[in-house]
Chains A and B, each alone.
Chain A
Amino acid sequence: MPDQTFLDSTELVLNMGPQHPSTHGVLRVVLKLDGEKVLGADCVIGYLHRGVEKIGENRTYQQFAPYVDRMDYCAAVSNGLGYCLAVEKLLNAEAPPRAQAVRVILTELNRIASHLIWLGTHALDIGAITPLFYVMREREEILNIFEKYCGARLTTHAFRIGGLQYETYDGLEQDVKAACDHVLPKIDEYERLLTGNRIWIGRLQNVGVLNAADCKQYGVTGPMLRAAGVKWDLRKAQPYSGYQQYDFEIPTGTNGDTYDRYRVRMEEMRQSVRIIRQAVERIPEGSIMAKIPKVIKPPVGEAYVSIEAPKGELGYFIVSDGSTQPYRLRVRPPSFVNLQALDQMTRGALVADVVAIIGTLDIVLGEVDR
């Protein structure tokens, strides 16, 4: 016997997206509704499918590097880092310390930029339009550093396999420090705009609760897992690119609701600033490129490397058959895995909460569909 309401209404199927602006791209959600209450949600994905993994099998190792930037375009630098680390693991090579320090600075800057975009769009979905304009202003500072360093703002292609292509420009340290000094007080400002706001709390608290056990079951990673109280960060758990040298904390939440995820991401931005400040103080001297052959032909084998991208665990699995092109390349995108929890999170919520829950997932459809 299905639950009957006082109106004895039947189930209504509502189609949300793919053009809906609050689905952050081209996500289509088929909602099963009972009045305002959501009974279930099915995701229809693939509107932005470009076959990135297949492209990877038809390009040489160096040639594929610009394509990974186009998966999670809000955090292109993190994508590039993960790919370079995976190929370096296949080659048994390691980037020199100077390259590693610059990589850490740029990825952490990118983490802030990605979280800023998340904050702006998430707040916009819920009805707070103002933060979007402010986060774009702060993001501009970070993108200017990317532009000065590697020549592109969004799809940066900043790292190469084995290290870096570009030496740091004169004044990178000052620019990075200035950006840190600029962003940190602005984060407090966003908190003043949102954290205590009664509408914000009313819309977020106890919405889309996902406890730690469910998170582990779905394979949810990143800030969503940490908001449920699990202290799991790959930068601490499996340090890569020299993260063990830096002193930072893993912010965690308690309830695993949307408000906790908001607090965790805000705190993560502060921790990123902390890492950048430590890293920029001690960029070691030396070469920026490891000894890598011009034509990359890794030995037969496979490698899996995962890094802590802004959205969660971003993994690259590469199978090499000894030729110049990967035999198989598989990406484990954090957005795609986190999206699987949408059905569980929306059950029992209201239609307006679905928008908040999609916002808090922090998905990028370029990465979900690949």
Chain B
Amino acid sequence: MRKFLRTIFLIDLIEGLWVTFHYQRPKYIVTEQYPAQRPKVAERYRGAPRLNINPENGETLCIACNLCALACPENLIVVGAERNEQTRRKELTTFIYDTSRCMFCGLCEDACPVDALELTQDFEMAGYNRDGQVWDRQMLEEGPRPKQYKY
């Protein structure tokens, strides 16, 4: 009898409709207004790569040890180094990082012994074509400059 009444009065459907309806209240809105409202990215986020420089003298922290290039599963890092004849130390000349092939696994970052290479919280790396996806040393040190929109 109870089941019959529930069927007649469409209780099962009304229960479901009520769930949908009670989310009408504005406090349940979860949508982010993305370009206007910037998302807060976690501290450990693995985003655009950056080659850190010493803020005091502007010299690169990279010691050209090539460990990141060896750790990379996709072999997309090329480190160019030259031996300085006076100090007998290897010095970084070029650093090429192909972001179009990168899967942001973070293995290069883990391999770096001096915290020079880092995956940062910048996530806006999309482009309209493939030009500029291979980043050189200058680009890696400056970081990407995504367009900011005003509303």
Chain B residues whose CB sits within 8 angstroms of the CB of A78 once the complex forms: none
| A16 → chain B closest CB, angstroms | 29
Give a binary string over A146-170; 1 marks a CB under 8 Å from any B CB, 0 the rest: 0111111001010000000110010
Judge whether A151 and B73 touch: CB under 8 Å.
no
Residues 131 to 151 of chain A near chain B (Cβ within 8 Å):
137, 140, 144, 147-151
Judge whether A147 and B16 touch: CB under 8 Å.
no
Q: Is B84 an interface residue (CB 8 A)?
A: no
Chain A residues whose CB sits within 8 angstroms of the CB of B63 once the complex forms: none
Chain B residues whose CB sits within 8 angstroms of the CB of A152 once the complex forms: 45-46, 104, 106
**Number of interface residues, chain A, beta carbon within 8 A:** 30
CA distance A335 to B98 in the complex (A): 33
Chain B residues whose CB sits within 8 angstroms of the CB of A67 once the complex forms: 73
Known contacts A151-B45, A157-B106: A198-B12 contact under CB 8 Å: yes
Chain A residues whose CB sits within 8 angstroms of the CB of B125 once the complex forms: none
Chain A residues whose CB sits within 8 angstroms of the CB of B15 once the complex forms: 192-193, 196
Give a binary string over B15-39; 1 marks a CB under 8 Å from any A CB, 0 the rest: 1100110000000001000000000
Judge whether A66 and B19 touch: CB under 8 Å.
no
Judge whether A197 and B44 touch: CB under 8 Å.
no
CA distance A165 to B105 in the complex (A): 12
| B69 → chain A closest CB, angstroms | 12
CA distance A193 to B23 in the complex (A): 13
| Chain A, Cβ-Cβ closest to B45 | A151
Q: Is A194 an interface residue (CB 8 A)?
A: yes
| B68 → chain A closest CB, angstroms | 12
Chain B residues whose CB sits within 8 angstroms of the CB of A196 once the complex forms: 11-12, 15
| A179 → chain B closest CB, angstroms | 14
Judge whether A192 and B19 touch: CB under 8 Å.
yes
Identify which of A56-64, A97-105, A302-310 touches chain B: A56-64
Judge whether A147 and B42 touch: CB under 8 Å.
yes
Q: Is A238 an interface residue (CB 8 A)?
A: no
Judge whether A148 and B30 touch: CB under 8 Å.
no
Chain A residues whose CB sits within 8 angstroms of the CB of B16 once the complex forms: 130, 192-194, 197
CA distance A159 to B21 in the complex (A): 41
Known contacts A192-B16, A192-B19: A151-B106 contact under CB 8 Å: yes
| B9 → chain A closest CB, angstroms | 12
Chain B residues whose CB sits within 8 angstroms of the CB of A197 once the complex forms: 12-13, 16
Judge whether A64 and B104 touch: CB under 8 Å.
no
| Chain B, Cβ-Cβ closest to A160 | B110
Query: Which single member of B11, B30, B72, B110 contacts A165 (CB below 8 Å)?
Result: B110
| Chain A, Cβ-Cβ closest to B104 | A152
Chain A residues whose CB sits within 8 angstroms of the CB of B46 once the complex forms: 151-152
| Chain A, Cβ-Cβ closest to B72 | A63
Q: Is B114 an interface residue (CB 8 A)?
A: no
Chain A residues whose CB sits within 8 angstroms of the CB of B19 once the complex forms: 130, 189, 192-193
Query: Which single member of B13, B42, B72 contacts A151 (CB below 8 Å)?
Result: B42
CA distance A131 to B151 in the complex (A): 32
Give a binary string over B110-130; 1 marks a CB under 8 Å from any A CB, 0 the rest: 100000000100000000000
CA distance A197 to B17 in the complex (A): 10
| A185 → chain B closest CB, angstroms | 11
| A348 → chain B closest CB, angstroms | 28
Judge whether B30 and A157 touch: CB under 8 Å.
no
Judge whether B44 and A148 touch: CB under 8 Å.
yes
| B134 → chain A closest CB, angstroms | 20
Chain B residues whose CB sits within 8 angstroms of the CB of A65 once the complex forms: 105
Q: Which of A137, A151, A152, A166 has the most chain B CB within a 10 Å cutoff? A: A151
| B79 → chain A closest CB, angstroms | 17
CA distance A63 to B76 in the complex (A): 13
Chain A residues proximal to chain B, CB less than 8 Å: 59, 62-67, 70, 130, 137, 140, 144, 147-152, 155, 157, 165-166, 169, 189, 192-194, 196-198
Other A-B pairs beyond A62-B107, A196-B11, A198-B12, 19, CB < 8 Å: A66-B103, A66-B107, A67-B73, A130-B16, A130-B20, A147-B42, A147-B44, A147-B45, A151-B44, A151-B106, A152-B45, A155-B103, A157-B105, A165-B106, A166-B44, A192-B16, A193-B16, A196-B12, A197-B12
* 7 A-B contact pairs sorted by A residue (CB < 8 Å): A66-B107, A130-B19, A157-B105, A157-B106, A189-B19, A193-B16, A193-B19
